[in-house]
Chain A
């Protein structure tokens, strides 16, 4: 271990002993036990480890742990605790945007970062905004729909569509 990193994760001050080669992803998963942030490639190619760092969606695997000091990080576990999350969950489930689920936490956080920046994005802005997050199950169509629902503020759930349990 070469250093101590202090950062705010999901609203709480956290501290971790890290090695020179450790990344923010290692800190989140292996030190803090926040396994909702997924590891898919370790190279920033797939977006499964997307978190929101100081307001921007980033691949946690590309952030050296030693450089993550004094940052504010939101992971899926933290976002899921917020009142805002319910809309995202409903929109993603209603659209059928969750299949295997491995890309989902990162995808939801990329969607949030996009919508925080652009309230009503065009379809091509949505596609661009999540183009760093690979999904091999859905074909993306349902994910784009989910984000459009959110943008339209229309994430209302018909009586017969489940998914909240």
Chain B
């Protein structure tokens, strides 16, 4: 089939868009029910303390107020995706471990009454010295965050290939650096919200913005003491996710209040609560050492990665693992020794954030590569090309299988060509161009260590021939509804607009795993194609009998099943479905997709950044970003472009302005006027270049794409600033103060 033969694939469609533009889409905070209560968490007043008493009597005196503490929880009161060490509510006699820990919940019909009830909860505590980050966790200056983890080590990871000592012996030049990356807030526009209620059979129903309905269902069930089959989770459309809605926050609280009050309960975080409570991008300290020959061939890479896991395990073990497995990126480096340590602290919890450990490792490697290029007197682009992985070479992770020709050189050329000549600097400014590359990984549903192995999707033909797809993936703006509709439409020869896609409901949709890891098009797409093709086979047999032809001569095209080469000989889908329905042919097919090998998908990316720096103030303006991605095949080009441009700007914020700083474990910038994400006035020209090398195992050749622009943009900007000024910022965000210091200017604190 040639590209031109596709009816839906390759078009830019937004089936989700019209309702969103008209304000008709219901996000979780837009939902309400008769008799509904408004719930609020009672957060700890200090980052770390022993809770000696929680006095809720004053709150309970208010008429109609419901109050819940840990004593009201029937289950384990613990949850967590890798280790159940996070409490739903902290009990008397236990420690609170970060500013987002809650000790009680209140609910009332009137939000103002609930707020008054919250004010009346008296928490008695003995404050404890907090562990305020990586250095403090390593030094053991305060009591360990978890008594059963005396060294504060949440997780360790190692990765070695070849003989790194031999690799450094072969090196003529060795660069050693320490890179510090900041904590990033997802800053999705929709703060977390949930509506929980008991249905007419007393099953708990939770509607909320979340990225993994089945995981939320079973972990909330066990933590509250319910069997998993008594809980239904429905993911509402997410007003942005980026990984930050992959972990349980207020959903368990709303559920607990609803169980207790036996009334519907809605909880909606304020912006400040959202910032304090949900997991962030891990701050990291990366000690990196890179060796190369005089000619510029890389010989060895050694790195120690320390991440701040915050108070609970969350996804920290996996994030640090992914940081190591993405450390050598798209380059052939024969000798590696990498160690990663995630450390508990009393800082904000950290977890999934677009890129999942890859932005941290990539920024360290890519800025060190530029320092190496400078030392060797080699052009940074040449250095990257000469060290690119070639077919048959071993990448620096056993999880990536180079099943197609590495396309690093192709994406570099595509980005550089599109970027054209660098812009002239504005008067008085210094201009620089930087590049950064990566081999971003994406989940293909094969690695049990990611907890994501296997995906199921159901496809059904209704009795009138119309198509329904059921998938527990969630719409978080990436266009998953459109992508699944387009693929089903292509298989059945119908219009994408005529396909119904049911998403994110554990009662209606089979297990499709989390909507994370840039995986949905690949994994749900493959499961959908498997299911659709099995169903089509059955339908073809039935149609062949009716049309008196061989099933192999039939195809689904233009709203009918037709004889190839004789399209007038056909049955409409409606006739076909009715015929099958009455003959007892099963019109529904569910299919389980799991990749054969324990591997991760991979792709190649190059990003070029042009910046102007004001040498008098250290202020940086990004003029232009061009990001080129081998995306396999763009199922929906506008959606792909949206991911690439949006990811680039999110990463630009991380590079230049975004630091969710903490002082003594308290958040110093808990609002969007203090934590600065890019506005429309800040963004440069951003161009996405799509390189389409069909991926052999992807649906229609597609690869994952959602996270990948966040991996390369920050280092491209830092490298451009280095080109402009000679200053390489090793601790970012690269604020004017930090750049000015690098330039030797006097900075007034």
Task: Indicate whether A130 reaches chain B with its CB closer than 8 angstroms.
Answer: yes
Evaluate contact between A131 and B679: CB separation under 8 angstroms: yes
Task: Indicate whether B533 reaches chain A with its CB closer than 8 angstroms.
Answer: no
Task: Indicate whether A112 reaches chain B with its CB closer than 8 angstroms.
Answer: no
Evaluate contact between A76 and B22: CB separation under 8 angstroms: yes
CA distance A39 to B679 in the complex (A): 18
CA distance A128 to B679 in the complex (A): 9
Chain A residues whose C-beta falls within 8 Å of the C-beta of B13 in the assembled complex: 161-163
Chain B residues whose C-beta falls within 8 Å of the C-beta of A80 in the assembled complex: 21-23
CA distance A46 to B185 in the complex (A): 15
Evaluate contact between A162 and B23: CB separation under 8 angstroms: no
Which listed residue, B21, B112, B478, B638, touches A21 by the CB 8 Å rule? B112
From known contacts A38-B189, A127-B680, infer whether A100 and B239 are also in contact, taking CB-CB under 8 Å. Answer: yes
Residue of B20, B497, B679 contacting most chain A CB atoms (<10 Å): B20
Which chain B residues in 4-40 approach chain A with CB under 8 Å?
11-27, 29-30
Q: Which of B446-454, B521-529, B585-593, B670-678 lies at the interface?
A: B670-678
Chain A residue with minimal CB distance to B14?
Answer: A163
Q: How far is the CB of B275 from chain A (nearest CB, A)?
A: 10
Chain B residues whose C-beta falls within 8 Å of the C-beta of A76 in the assembled complex: 21-23
Evaluate contact between B476 and A77: CB separation under 8 angstroms: no
CA distance A137 to B20 in the complex (A): 14
Task: Indicate whether B242 reaches chain A with its CB closer than 8 angstroms.
Answer: yes
Number of interface residues of B (CB under 8 A): 62
Evaluate contact between A100 and B476: CB separation under 8 angstroms: yes
Q: How far is the CB of A66 from chain B (nearest CB, A)?
A: 15
Number of interface residues of A (CB under 8 A): 59
Task: Indicate whether A98 reaches chain B with its CB closer than 8 angstroms.
Answer: yes
Chain B residues whose C-beta falls within 8 Å of the C-beta of A136 in the assembled complex: 186-189, 240, 242, 646, 650, 677
From known contacts A162-B12, A165-B18, A165-B497, infer whether A127 and B681 are also in contact, taking CB-CB under 8 Å. Answer: yes
Which listed residue, B497, B638, B672, touches A46 by the CB 8 Å rule? B672
Which listed residue, B21, B29, B186, touches A92 by the CB 8 Å rule? B21
Q: How many residue pairs between the two chains, A and B, have CB atoms under 8 Å in the bound complex?
A: 192
Chain A residues whose C-beta falls within 8 Å of the C-beta of B352 in the assembled complex: none
CA distance A145 to B671 in the complex (A): 29
Task: Indicate whether B641 reaches chain A with its CB closer than 8 angstroms.
Answer: yes
Task: Indicate whether A71 reaches chain B with its CB closer than 8 angstroms.
Answer: no
Which listed residue, B191, B240, B496, B647, touches A162 by the CB 8 Å rule? B496
Chain A residue with minimal CB distance to B709?
Answer: A139
CA distance A93 to B12 in the complex (A): 9
Q: How far is the CB of B499 from chain A (nearest CB, A)?
A: 11
Q: Is the interface of B mostly helix, strand, loop or mixed?
A: loop
Q: Mark B101-114, 1 if CB is under 8 A from A, else 0.
A: 00000000000100
Task: Indicate whether A37 reaches chain B with its CB closer than 8 angstroms.
Answer: yes
Chain B residues whose C-beta falls within 8 Å of the C-beta of A102 in the assembled complex: 27, 188-190, 239-240
Which listed residue, A40, A131, A132, touches B191 by the CB 8 Å rule? A40
CA distance A153 to B476 in the complex (A): 31
CA distance A41 to B671 in the complex (A): 8
Evaluate contact between A38 and B27: CB separation under 8 angstroms: yes
Task: Indicate whether B268 reaches chain A with its CB closer than 8 angstroms.
Answer: yes
Evaluate contact between A43 and B673: CB separation under 8 angstroms: yes
Chain A residues whose C-beta falls within 8 Å of the C-beta of B300 in the assembled complex: none
Q: Mark B299-342, 1 if CB is under 8 A from A, else 0.
A: 00000000000000000000000000000000000000000000
CA distance A160 to B3 in the complex (A): 14
From known contacts A35-B30, A75-B23, A96-B638, infer whether A134 and B14 are also in contact, taking CB-CB under 8 Å. Answer: no
Which listed residue, A42, A108, A135, touches B189 by the CB 8 Å rule? A135
Chain B residue with minimal CB distance to A147?
Answer: B680
Q: Mark A98-118, 1 if CB is under 8 A from B, else 0.
A: 111111110010000000000
From known contacts A127-B680, A130-B680, A133-B680, infer whether A100 and B23 are also in contact, taking CB-CB under 8 Å. Answer: no
Evaluate contact between A36 and B24: CB separation under 8 angstroms: yes
Chain B residues whose C-beta falls within 8 Å of the C-beta of A40 in the assembled complex: 189-191, 271, 672
Evaluate contact between B12 and A141: CB separation under 8 angstroms: no
Q: How far is the CB of A136 from chain B (nearest CB, A)?
A: 5
Chain B residue with minimal CB distance to A135?
Answer: B189
Chain B residues whose C-beta falls within 8 Å of the C-beta of A160 in the assembled complex: 11-12
From known contacts A96-B641, A96-B642, A140-B683, infer whether A89 and B22 are also in contact, taking CB-CB under 8 Å. Answer: yes
Q: How far is the CB of A37 from chain B (nearest CB, A)?
A: 7
Chain A residue with minimal CB distance to B650?
Answer: A136
Evaluate contact between B21 and A88: CB separation under 8 angstroms: yes
Q: How far is the CB of B732 from chain A (nearest CB, A)?
A: 19
CA distance A94 to B658 in the complex (A): 31
In addition to A43-B673, A132-B679, 9 A-B residue pairs with Cβ atoms within 8 Å of each other are: A39-B268, A45-B271, A104-B20, A139-B646, A140-B683, A162-B13, A162-B15, A164-B18, A165-B18
Chain A residues packing against B (C-beta within 8 Å)? 19, 21, 29, 34-43, 45-46, 48, 75-77, 80, 85, 88-89, 92-93, 96, 98-105, 108, 126-128, 130-144, 160-165
A-B pairs, top 4 by smallest CB distance, nearest first, are A36-B23, A101-B20, A102-B239, A100-B477
Q: Can you identify 17 A-B contacts, CB atoms within 8 angstroms? A: A37-B23, A38-B190, A39-B268, A40-B271, A41-B672, A43-B671, A77-B22, A77-B23, A96-B638, A96-B642, A98-B17, A101-B20, A102-B190, A134-B189, A136-B189, A139-B683, A144-B680
